[in-house]
């Protein structure tokens, strides 16, 4: 049985699929794995480090703004389609699995024409354009949250929770001390800039580094090729561009994690039981993820557009200095995610691949894939959504264009809600200390 995994460009759609890889291998599933990702993304090293064969193809992102890039899109789509077709013909997988990313779109669409079933996993609360396109051609769709399921056709959609790398639970504080040169006497703030590196997060944290290291130590994962953004010389401030081997140890030593609102990271934080300060990318699907956490009091949520380095420092102090806040945020985050997501998705994919072996191989002979696709379309395949689901899609598209509702700005309010309205003092930093001008991503 061969499974083709696809995703990349960022690490968001990558880490859940690596969780599936770990599950299949841990349970002695005899599967042949191949991964199709982007040419320049950060995923190649992570995938090959897991002994999974990696193939790169062109990825065509559809921008939501006017640009000369639009003139090249038709040619890029044709090129990406040809590469995807060649990969599918050469590999002949039984099933395609993706958790998003534009690189996966031609594989899922062409796979449908070729009689190869696809499993699309929706991590985020709000589906992106790539997953909305692929959902129309997928045989099965899984979602992390119940709030996402109505966007997709109900007959082929299941709420499973998210997949997570079980290896992240095997981290060692002692190994982290040696690996990263950290002190056993200090609390640790883990900063995750993401696989591609978050400019705002990297620069904001480095601007307050001197204050952070007065009391704590910082392990700052800047993102690939973003190491130069953080120019801090302090024995209590350790920077790493990207941790392929040892992320479990980084989680183990962390007392608090400062990160974006990607679901892959948040799922892993829930699994390892770490409290988070979350700064979603403005005007993106991450804001809905963060708002979902806010509703469940599962972390301290900050709006980047309103967060100065002073506010960021105050937020970090509030959580780092209060163990009750840390425990409550970590516990609520764990409760936010459905259990056994990895097992449900991994076993479901194997079942779907088996159905592909039995059913789709017979159907490939007569009628042709194109005729079969057209027939199923007439029967309602592409119109299988209910009117309610179609309305939700339109609302989500409009919400993506306009941005989701504003995130809460009050640190005191969020901490008080998490502690049952207990009043917590928030120490304010001096505005004059940090004449720092933030930059847009």
CA distances from 409 to 95, 258, 266, 274, 376 (A): 44, 16, 20, 22, 49
Q: Are 165 and 18 in contact (CB under 8 A)?
A: yes
**What values do phi and psi take at 269, rounded to 5?**
-65, -40
| Cα–Cα distance for residue pair 7/319, rounded to 1 Å | 34
| Cα–Cα distance for residue pair 276/274, rounded to 1 Å | 6
CA distances from 255 to 277, 286, 302, 402, 422 (A): 11, 23, 19, 36, 22
Can you say which residues are annotated as belonging to the binding site? 165, 286
Helix spans in 229-322 (H): 247-253, 263-272, 286-295, 309-320
**What values do phi and psi take at 423, rounded to 5?**
-75, 130
Helix, strand, or coil here: 258?
Answer: strand
| Cα–Cα distance for residue pair 296/101, rounded to 1 Å | 28
Q: Are 240 and 180 in contact (CB under 8 A)?
A: yes
Question: Tokens 């082929």 correspond to what residue?
Answer: 156
Can you say which residues are annotated as belonging to the binding site for UDP-N-acetyl-alpha-D-glucosamine? 165, 286
356: Cα within 13 Å, side-chain hemisphere: 25
Q: Please count the residues of the chain.
A: 441
**What values do phi and psi take at 411, rounded to 5?**
-65, -45
């Amino acid at each position: 049985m061969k499974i083709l995994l696809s995703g990349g460009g960022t690490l968001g759609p990558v880490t859940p699929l690596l969780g599936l890889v770990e599950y299949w291998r841990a349970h002695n599933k005899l599967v042949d794995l191949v991964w199709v990702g982007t040419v320049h993304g950060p995923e190649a090293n992570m995938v090959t480090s897991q002994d999974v064969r990696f193939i790169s193809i062109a990825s065509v992102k559809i921008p939501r703004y006017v640009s000369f890039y639009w003139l090249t899109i038709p040619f890029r789509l044709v090129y990406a389609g040809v590469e995807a077709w060649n990969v599918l013909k050469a590999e002949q997988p039984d099933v395609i699995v993706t958790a998003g990313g534009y690189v996966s779109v031609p594989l899922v669409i062409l796979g449908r024409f070729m009689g190869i079933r696809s499993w699309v996993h929706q991590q985020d609360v709000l589906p992106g354009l790539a997953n909305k396109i692929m959902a129309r051609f997928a045989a099965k769709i899984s979602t992390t949250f119940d709030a996402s399921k109505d966007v997709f056709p109900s007959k082929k959609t299941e709420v499973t929770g998210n997949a997570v790398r079980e290896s992240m639970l095997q981290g060692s504080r002692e190994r982290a001390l040696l690996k990263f040169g950290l002190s056993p006497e200090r609390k640790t703030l883990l900063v995750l800039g993401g696989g591609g590196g978050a400019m705002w997060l990297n620069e904001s944290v480095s601007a307050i580094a001197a204050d952070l290291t007065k009391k704590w130590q910082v392990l700052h994962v800047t993102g690939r090729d973003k190491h130069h953004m953080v120019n801090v010389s302090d024995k209590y401030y350790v920077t790493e561009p990207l941790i392929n081997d040892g992320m479990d140890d980084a989680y183990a030593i962390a007392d608090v994690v400062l990160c974006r609102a990607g679901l892959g990271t948040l799922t892993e934080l829930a699994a390892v039981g770490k409290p988070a300060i979350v700064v979603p990318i403005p005007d993106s699907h991450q804001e809905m993820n963060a708002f979902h956490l806010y509703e469940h009091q599962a972390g301290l949520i900050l709006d980047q557009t309103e967060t100065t380095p002073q506010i960021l420092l105050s937020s970090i102090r509030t959580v780092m200095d209060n163990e009750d806040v840390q425990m409550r945020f970590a516990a609520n985050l764990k409760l936010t995610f459905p259990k056994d997501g990895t097992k449900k998705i991994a076993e479901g994919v194997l079942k779907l691949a088996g159905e592909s072996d039995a059913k789709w191989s017979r159907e490939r002979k007569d009628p042709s894939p194109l005729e079969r696709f057209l027939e199923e379309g007439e029967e309602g395949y592409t119109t299988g959504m209910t009117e309610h689901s179609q309305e939700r899609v339109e609302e989500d598209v409009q919400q993506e264009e306009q941005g989701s509702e504003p995130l809460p700005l009050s640190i005191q309010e969020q901490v008080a809600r998490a502690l049952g309205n207990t009043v917590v003092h928030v120490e304010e930093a001096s505005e004059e200390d940090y004449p720092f001008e933030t930059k847009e991503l």
